[in-house]
Amino acid sequence: MQEAAFANNAEWLKGAGNASDVVMSSRVRLARNIAGFPFTPQASRVDRAQILEACKSRILNMQTQSPTRFMWIDLHKVQREDRDLLVERQLMSRQHARGKLSDGQGGLDEPRGVAVLIPDERVSIMVNEEDHIRLQTMKSGLALGSCLSEANTYDDLIENGLDYAYHPRFGYLTACPTNVGTGLRLSVMLHLPGLKMSGELEKVRRAARDMGLAVRGFYGEGSESPGEFFQISNQTTLGKSDEMLLREMEQDIIPKIVGYERAARQNMLANRREILEDQAWRALGTLRYARSMKTEEAMELLSMTRFGVLSGLIPDIAIDQIHTLLLATQPMHLQRTLGQALTQQQRRTARADLIRKKLAPPENESPVVRDA
C-alpha cells in the first residue's frame, strides 16, 4: 500500500464541525448490488472475481469525471498488517478484512477490495463485503447531511457505469433485508463520558434501542466501547426515504443525545468540579509518565483527558493532539510508525513512549500544589 497516503490524520478526526465536543464523526453508508449477479454470500468465487473487476474498473475510471483521486487496494493481495491498518482508520469493517462472508465461509484469499479517497480519506468504497458495494463517507462533527450529499454524488458516478439491482416497489435490493429500500445507514460516533460518569448512559442506550437504533463500539458491530466512544445508527431503511431518515437522525435523535451529554457534563462540573479535575489530571499524568500501556487503557485515559480539555479543566493541550493519539496508539499504527513487527509487550512499551513524547509537559510547567 501507499503508506504516504496515510501520513496525516483522517478528516473525521479533525475535531471540528457542529457539536464536535460530543459528536466525534458522522458517517453515511450506502449498500448497493450489481444487477445480474447473486448477492455476495450466494455468489460463486468466479462471480465475486467478476464483480470485483467490474467495480474496480468503474471506480478508477470515474476519476475522469471528478477532480478527486482514489487509491485502490486488492485486499486478498496485501498483508494482514495492511488490512488491519485500514480497519483502525475506519475505512472498512473487520469482516471485510478477514474475508468472511455472512454464512461464515470464505477467507483471506477471497477476491475483494477497497477504494480510499486520498488524501483525507473521507470516502471509502468496499467491494464484495456483505453487499457488492458498500460506499461510505465520513466527516468530523455532526455532518450527516453533508456526508449524504457527497455519498449520493459518488453513488451516481458509479451507477453511470454499472446497473444496480433495484425493484420499483422495494427500492435497492440488498443481501440483508434491513437494508432494502434506500440501502442507507446513517451513524455518528459519540463521546459520552458525562452520561457514563453520571450513571445515565444505560438509559440512553435503552432509549436508542427502543427507537430502532443500533448502539455499537468504536469499531462498529461486535466491538467494545473503551473510552465511552459509541456509534449510533439506524437499523432499518425499508419504507423510509433518505430525507426522512436524515431528518430523524440529524435534527431530532442526535441533538437530543448531545443535549443530554452536555447537561450531564455541566451538572457534574457544577457539583463535582474538584473530583473531575483530579480525575482528568490523573489521566493526563498517567499518559505523560507511564512506561507500558494497553490499547484499551490508552483510550480510557485519552477519553478522560479529552473531557478535561473540553471542560476547561486542562489548559494548553489541543484536541487534535488527543485525536491523533487515539489513532496513532492503535496496534498496527504503532508497528508502521516503528517500521517493524512488535510483540504485545513491545507494543505496550512503544505506545507509552509515543504518548509521553506527544503529551510532554512544557519545560516551565510545575505541579499545582493545593493547601491541605
Q: Please give the full DSSP string across 339-357, using - where no structure is assigned.
A: TS---HHHHHHHHHHHHHH
Assess if residue 333 is contained within a domain: yes
Separation of alpha carbons 182 and 164, rounded Å = 12
CA distances from 370 to 49, 274, 279, 308 (A): 67, 11, 15, 19
Q: How many domains are there within the chain? A: 2
106: β partners: 100
For 182, the 3-state DSSP assignment is coil
Q: What is the pLDDT along the chain (372 residues), one digit of tens a residue?
A: 655 455 556 888 888 899 999 999 999 999 999 999 999 989 999 999 999 999 999 999 886 656 668 999 999 999 999 999 999 999 999 989 988 765 556 677 889 999 999 888 999 999 999 999 999 999 999 999 999 999 999 999 999 999 999 999 999 999 988 888 899 999 999 999 999 999 998 888 888 888 888 888 776 555 556 778 999 998 777 777 889 899 999 999 999 999 999 999 999 999 999 999 999 999 999 999 999 999 999 999 999 999 999 999 999 899 989 999 999 999 999 999 888 889 999 999 999 999 999 999 877 555 554 444
Assess if residue 140 is contained within a domain: yes
Q: Which of 263, 289, 312 is the last residue of a domain?
A: 263
**Domain region containing 347:** 272-358
With contact defined as beta carbons under 8 Å apart, do 330 and 294 qualify?
A: no
With contact defined as beta carbons under 8 Å apart, do 209 and 166 qualify?
A: no
pLDDT tens readout for residues 81-134: 999 999 999 999 998 998 876 555 667 788 999 999 988 899 999 999 999 999
What nine digits make up the cell of 98? 478477514
Residue 148: name the closest of 77, 244, 262, 227 by CA. Answer: 244
Whether residues 351 and 222 share a domain: the answer is no
First vs last Cα of the chain: how many Å apart? 57
What predicted TM-score, i.e. pTM, was given to this entire model? Answer: 0.89
Q: Which of 214, 244, 263 is the last residue of a domain?
A: 263
Whether residues 155 and 297 share a domain: the answer is no
Assess if residue 335 is contained within a domain: yes
Question: Residues 6 or more apart from 348 whose CB is under 8 A from it?
Answer: 292, 293, 294
Q: Which of 263, 291, 315 is the last residue of a domain?
A: 263
Whether residues 253 and 297 share a domain: the answer is no
Whether residues 246 and 323 share a domain: the answer is no
